[in-house]
Amino acid sequence: QAGPVPQGGGSSTSGRGHDGISRLRSSSLEIREKEIREKGSEILREQLDAAKKELKLKDKECERLSQVRDQLEQELEELTASLFEEAHKMVREANVKQAAAEKQLKEAQGKIDVLQAEVTALKTLVLTSTPSSPNRQLHPQLQSPSTRGSHKHGGGHIRNKSASGALPPTPARLEQSSVNSQPVAKEDREMDTVLYAEFLMWKEQPSLDRTSAFLSRIYREDIGPCLSFTRSEASASVQSAVEKNSLTIEPVAMSALPMVKASAVECGGPKKCALSGMSRLCRHRIKLGDKGSYYYISPSSRARITAVCNFFTYIRYIQQGLVRHDAEQMFWEVMRLRREMTVAKLGFYLTDQG
């Protein structure tokens, strides 16, 4: 007997068909996924290559910029060094020029001082009269009244920078001027060996330093007493101004005496000597350095100050090498100036006559 066909056989056939389809689908998916992965890998490789190329370009650009920076730094260093060298060169040249200018200025000032000293020396040393041949223009008291009147106060008193053109005559000159008809006795002199030795020692290195034995003795025996006035403070100021060569003596116009300022009256007055304090007619006044006050001085005080100024003027000439005499002549001139200081200290002085 033919029985019914079993249902299981048909179902198994359809199951195998589904499995085949599934395998085909899975294989196609795998192929597709593989293709996608390969494409993705290829794209990533391309992007990586592009990134590497870009990095290389940037590295080259960085290297170029670094080279430019190094070159600029080197140029800047060279420029800075060049500027510093040029600045130092300019400073050195300026210093050299300044030193040369200062040297030239110092030399010019020295030449001016020497010329001024030579001119003054010619006036005071070359033209100074002697007892045997007096210079009548330097000693107006030896002139006739008519001649003296024409020269009287022609240019006023010379501005005295520790030196005055009107040298107070010695007693021998006074004797000759007052008694021209009587013969003048010859003056004998004898050298003091101690004083001469001190002078020679000072002359080896002449200076105005009072510590030397030569000047120390003269300060003690002549300058100090001659400039020792009643007003001690004013005396010290006068001596300091004489030593610094900054003292000025000028005549006082008699017509202007009533109009004297109060500041000047405080330093004496037309009828009172500011140094001695005595009532005397003061025809001259002195100024100490750059101070504004004037000191009215009597003829006796003026003679004492002038005598000390003449001494300082002569030893300055010796110091500057302007005196061409031998040592013995210089020594006797110094002794003569010392005698003038002593005579002026004792109160002897000459006044203009007429």
Q: Which DSSP string corresponds to 51-90?
A: HHHHHHHHHHHHHHHHHHHHHHHHHHHHHHHHHHHHHHHH
And the tokens for 27?
């294989």
Count the helices and strands in the chain (H runs, E runs).
10, 3
Amino acid 55 reads: L
Bridge partners of 286, per DSSP, are 249, 295
Local confidence band at 28 (pLDDT 50, 70, 90 cut-offs): confident
- For the chain, give every domain's residue range: 193-346
What's the confidence (pLDDT) of residue 266? 46
Bridge partners of 251, per DSSP, are 284
Phi, psi of 225 (to 5 degrees): -60, -35
Give, in degrees to the nearest 5, the angle at Cα 51 between 49 and 53. 70
pLDDT in tens, 253-310: 765 444 444 444 347 678 899 999 999 899 999 998 877 778 999 999 999 999 999 9
* pTM recorded for the entire structure: 0.49
d(CA 268, CA 278): 9
d(CA 307, CA 339): 9
Please tell me the number of Cα atoms within 13 Å of 276 on its side-chain side.
Answer: 20
What's the confidence (pLDDT) of residue 304? 95
- Neighbour count for residue 108 (Cβ, 10 Å): 10
CA Rg value for the chain:
56
Percent of the chain with pLDDT over 90: 46
Is the C-alpha dihedral spanning 169, 175, 179, 183 positive or negative? negative
pLDDT in tens, 48-91: 999 999 999 999 999 999 999 999 999 999 999 999 999 999 99
- Nearest CA among 256, 243, 296, 255 for reference residue 272: 296
pLDDT in tens, 172-228: 444 444 445 455 567 788 999 999 999 999 999 999 998 999 999 999 999 999 999
Amino acid 2 reads: A
d(CA 86, CA 93): 10
Residues 134, 172: contact at Cβ < 8 Å? no
Instruction: State the DSSP H helix or E strand holding residue 288, giving kind and residue range, or none if neither.
Output: strand 284-288
Residues 307, 340: contact at Cβ < 8 Å? yes
